[in-house]
Amino acid sequence: MTSQDNELNKIRKLCDQAGMKLTPQRLEIFKEMLSQKDHPSAEFIFKKLRKRLPTISLDTVYRTLATFDELGIIKRLNVSNDRTLFDTNLEQHHHFICTRCKRVQDIYWPDFDNANLPESVSALGSIQVRHLELHGICNKCLNKENKNKV
């Protein structure tokens, strides 16, 4: 069984449990999500799907992705205030965001995940999710910049 089959079985089960009907449209939205390695927006998925599903609407895509987020199938990601992105990577990880091309890349940082929290943080309450957002300029953009200088 391929990993995509595994993912599809998982989503079928989760939708079943949640009493949500996995319509062909919803399934297509999920498959498109899986084929994206980056962190796509609802608009991006919509544009991709519109070619083969001309009747689909952005609203449907957005609502379906929001429901998938509630079911824990994918994660909604709010980065850089004006963008809502979605993430199929459910492992504990953080994000590096390029301020130039806006690309969002995954970072793993187990030392940070397992570190004891400073007292100033524990004093505020109990932390449930650790998610870091690092901002900078990605290598792709840095390389472009260097080329332009020559």
By C-beta, is 16 or 145 nearer to Zn ion?
145
- Per DSSP, the residues of 136-150 read E--HHHHHHHHHHH-
Q: Which residues contact Zn ion by CB under 5 A?
A: 87, 89, 98, 100-101, 106, 138, 141
By C-beta, is 49 or 138 nearer to Zn ion?
138
| Nearest distance from C-beta of residue 141 to Zn ion, angstroms | 3
By C-beta, is 28 or 87 nearer to Zn ion?
87
C-alpha dihedral (59, 65, 68, 72), degrees to nearest 10: -140
What residue type is 116 in one-letter code? N
By C-beta, is 32 or 87 nearer to Zn ion?
87
- Residue 2: half-sphere exposure toward Cβ, Cα within 13 Å: 4
By Cβ distance, which residue is nearest to Zn ion? 98
Q: Is there a contact between 33 and 40 (Cβ–Cβ < 8 Å)?
A: yes
| Nearest distance from C-beta of residue 94 to Zn ion, angstroms | 8
| Nearest distance from C-beta of residue 61 to Zn ion, angstroms | 19
Site of tokens 């079928």: 12
DSSP reduced 3-state for 94: strand
| Nearest distance from C-beta of residue 142 to Zn ion, angstroms | 8
